[in-house]
Chain A
Amino acid sequence: MSRLSRPLGVALVYVWLSVFVVVPWVAILVGAFAGGWASFWHSVSSPEAAFALRMTLEITLVTLFINLALGVPISFWIARRSAPGWRVIQWIVELPLSVSPVVAGLALIVVYGPNALIGALLAHAHIKIAFAFPGMVLATVFVTLPFIVHETVPAIRAIGDTQEQAAYVLGASPWRTLWRVWLPQLKWSLLYGMALTAARSFGEFGAVLVVSGSIVMVTETATLFVYQASVNNQMQAAYAVSAVLALVSFALILVLQLVKRLGGNRLRDH
């Protein structure tokens, strides 16, 4: 019985994966390249599609930068349990994992929208957040902040604080210690968190949709473009941009595996 059930189980997993994961992927690729390379390229390089892809890339890069700058200190606060209210910080950082991105986007509109107080004040100073690039970045940062923190906190705890103290006694300032002692040892955790952040930024839809208003050639990202194109029955365009997103995800998965393998030995040593 058990001799039979094991191959049967494995077979079921394969069938399930094929039907629900592999086939849709292949379908996207087939759809994108059905008209040949030239028509794929034509769809991807149309002004609207190119704009959307570039906007997604820009949001991802800015998000990575902000998350790194915010994520490292937040990780230390949580890992050290030293900052007053570190539990609250941890809870706030983890919130996006359970809150619907659409709700997060809506919350930003409520605060920064042109009819809200802060939004109106900012608009007065000619700073536009809702329905503009800054709001889209904010939404993406909100959704992706947990990733770097999640990867980094356990690594900081595993390394402990005696190496830091050793560095201080040897004359290194806190800043130099971060640079020479902490970052080199947190490098793999940070890279892993960044890869997850990038993957999520590329794919973010709900939060960005609400915040941006999805205005063509102004605030339309790649995922919004795909949605709009499919609603408008421009399937070739939808497939082509989807294929680009799919390939980027695939590349990021490869990066994650590579990071795991390269960093694995080091991480395990701690």
Chain B
Amino acid sequence: MTIEFVGVEKVYPGGARSVRGVSFQVREGEMVGLLGPSGSGKTTILRLIAGLERPTKGEIWIGGKRVTDLPPQKRNVGLVFQNYALFQHMTVYDNVAFGLKEKRVPRDEIDRRVRELLGYMRLTEYANRFPRELSGGQQQRVALARALAPRPQVLLFDEPFAAIDTQIRRELRKFVREVHDELGVTSLFVTHDQEEALEIADRVLVLHEGRVEQLGTPEEVYEQPETLFVASFIGESNVWRRPVQGGAVEVAGLRLPVDPAIPNGTPVAVVVRPKDVQLHPADREEGQGQILRSAFKGAYSACFVRTRDHEVWEVHVPSADRHLLSPGAWVRMDVHKFFVFPA
């Protein structure tokens, strides 16, 4: 099922604008991660798709059908809530069977489908338990099974792993991706964890203050950010604001060339990823900065370099080279890649 937003706005009764003129398209069978800081409108977009909110303006299409005014009951979407929203008075079995009963599926077919899903989710032995007797990860799987039972063509996840321990979180993340691939559904999930979004999403929709900043593959939003927000929000980055001088911007004693059409004195923001800087040992005279400290991160180490104009850069170096860069050492910096945005 494709999902399309056309100029969607959502203004809450108090006048708070949560989504401002959002348009985007999700392709059939795609898994899209909605990424943004809190208050960026990502959960509202999910609720708009589910029908739990009506847009103030604009149109929403699911599978080529205009659903803007359809109630949630008629949209055939599955929604996994952040806090699972399991029916507390029902067993795991009855939770999963709920949607099928509402669709008046014959009893023996319900039983077959519920048992199949419980087996798939490795929950068979918990069928008669109540939600409060389960761990967070198990409740999450019940919520997923419940959402999948009526065979929705669109699956929505609202911060699905927010309340789960890191270890189980990684497993569940992979599991959700497997489920998505196996069922061939179209999925959207909300997260504020970019690692999560970049790891399992086919494409990432980056949101900021109710607007779409960029929709692209994880590589695109990371390597070709379209806005300053995307460049600084996705991945680590060093951001420096400078006026353009003679077709270049000067940072850390380096002249980085910019579009010659930008007139002198125009303020711009230069974004440099920590991995796009190379450090070379240097003596005091030719060094551009001095190592402050470094933090071991596994394969790489994050070095913090203070330049002569007292700006601190984060630079990632292979951990194997870390011994060359002890605190206090002077270094020369090479910038391989940088982005320039209007400041």
Query: Residues of A at under 8 Å CB distance from B?
Result: 159, 162-163, 165-173, 176, 180-181, 184-185, 266, 269-270
Say yes or no: A166 contacts B73, CB within 8 Å. no
Residues in A whose Cβ lies below 8 Å from that of B146: 166, 170
Query: Could you list 25 A-B pairs, sorted by A, with CB under 8 Å?
Result: A159-B88, A162-B85, A163-B85, A165-B72, A166-B79, A166-B85, A166-B87, A166-B146, A167-B87, A168-B52, A168-B72, A169-B52, A169-B75, A169-B78, A169-B147, A170-B99, A170-B102, A170-B150, A171-B73, A171-B150, A172-B102, A173-B73, A185-B89, A269-B88, A270-B88
Contact with A along B44-57 (1 / 0, CB 8 A): 00000011100000
How far, in whole Å, are A254 and B132 apart by their CA atoms in the complex?
Answer: 29
Residues in B whose Cβ lies below 8 Å from that of A176: 102
Say yes or no: is B77 at the interface (Cβ < 8 Å to chain A).
yes
| Chain A residue with Cβ nearest B131 | A269
Given A168-B51, A171-B73, list of 17 further CB < 8 A pairs? A163-B86, A166-B79, A166-B81, A167-B98, A168-B52, A168-B71, A169-B77, A169-B78, A170-B146, A170-B147, A171-B150, A172-B98, A172-B102, A173-B73, A181-B87, A184-B89, A269-B132
How far, in whole Å, are A38 and B150 apart by their CA atoms in the complex?
Answer: 66
Query: Residues of B at under 8 Å CB distance from A?
Result: 50-52, 71-73, 75, 77-79, 81, 83, 85-89, 98-99, 102-103, 132, 146-147, 150
Q: What's the least CB distance linking B205 to chain A, in Å?
A: 21
Q: Indicate which residue in A159, A172, A185, A266 contacts B73 across the interface (CB closer than 8 Å).
A: A172
Residues in A whose Cβ lies below 8 Å from that of B150: 170-171
Q: Indicate which residue in B81, B86, B89, B103 contacts A171 across the interface (CB closer than 8 Å).
A: B103
Say yes or no: A163 contacts B88, CB within 8 Å. yes
How far, in whole Å, are A141 and B79 apart by their CA atoms in the complex?
Answer: 42
Residues in A whose Cβ lies below 8 Å from that of B86: 163, 166
How far, in whole Å, are A172 and B89 apart by their CA atoms in the complex?
Answer: 16
Q: What's the least CB distance linking B83 to chain A, in Å?
A: 6
How far, in whole Å, are A173 and B81 apart by their CA atoms in the complex?
Answer: 19
How far, in whole Å, are A171 and B102 apart by their CA atoms in the complex?
Answer: 6
Say yes or no: A170 contacts B98, CB within 8 Å. yes
Say yes or no: A168 contacts B73, CB within 8 Å. yes
Which 3 pairs of residues, A with B, have the shortest CB-CB distance?
A170-B99, A162-B85, A171-B102
Residues in A whose Cβ lies below 8 Å from that of B78: 169
Q: Indicate which residue in B77, B85, B89 contacts A165 across the interface (CB closer than 8 Å).
A: B85
| Chain A residue with Cβ nearest B13 | A82
How far, in whole Å, are A165 and B80 apart by their CA atoms in the complex?
Answer: 11
Q: What's the least CB distance linking A58 to chain B, in Å?
A: 33
Residues in B whose Cβ lies below 8 Å from that of A171: 73, 99, 102-103, 150
Q: What's the least CB distance linking A217 to chain B, in Å?
A: 47
Q: Indicate which residue in A169, A173, A185, A270 contacts B51 across the interface (CB closer than 8 Å).
A: A169
How far, in whole Å, are A266 and B78 apart by their CA atoms in the complex?
Answer: 28
Interface centre among B83, B87, B132 (most CB of A within 10 A): B87
Residues in B whose Cβ lies below 8 Å from that of A184: 89
Residues in A whose Cβ lies below 8 Å from that of B72: 165, 168-169
Residues in B whose Cβ lies below 8 Å from that of A166: 79, 81, 85-87, 146
Residues in A whose Cβ lies below 8 Å from that of B88: 159, 163, 185, 269-270
Interface centre among A162, A173, A181, A184 (most CB of B within 10 A): A162
Q: What's the least CB distance linking A198 to chain B, in Å?
A: 25
Residues in A whose Cβ lies below 8 Å from that of B75: 169
Residues in B whose Cβ lies below 8 Å from that of A163: 85-88
Q: What's the least CB distance linking B174 to chain A, in Å?
A: 25
Interface centre among A159, A167, A170, A269 (most CB of B within 10 A): A170
How far, in whole Å, are A270 and B150 apart by their CA atoms in the complex?
Answer: 28
Residues in B whose Cβ lies below 8 Å from that of A266: 89
| Chain B residue with Cβ nearest A186 | B89
How far, in whole Å, are A202 and B166 apart by their CA atoms in the complex?
Answer: 58
Residues in A whose Cβ lies below 8 Å from that of B73: 168-169, 171-173
Residues in B whose Cβ lies below 8 Å from that of A180: 98
How far, in whole Å, are A173 and B50 apart by their CA atoms in the complex?
Answer: 15
| Chain A residue with Cβ nearest B152 | A169
Q: What's the least CB distance linking A5 to chain B, in Å?
A: 43
Q: What's the least CB distance linking A24 to chain B, in Å?
A: 42
Residues in B whose Cβ lies below 8 Å from that of A172: 73, 98, 102
Interface centre among B89, B132, B146 (most CB of A within 10 A): B89
Interface centre among B51, B99, B146 (most CB of A within 10 A): B99
How far, in whole Å, are A270 and B86 apart by their CA atoms in the complex?
Answer: 12
| Chain B residue with Cβ nearest A270 | B88
How far, in whole Å, are A168 and B75 apart by their CA atoms in the complex?
Answer: 10
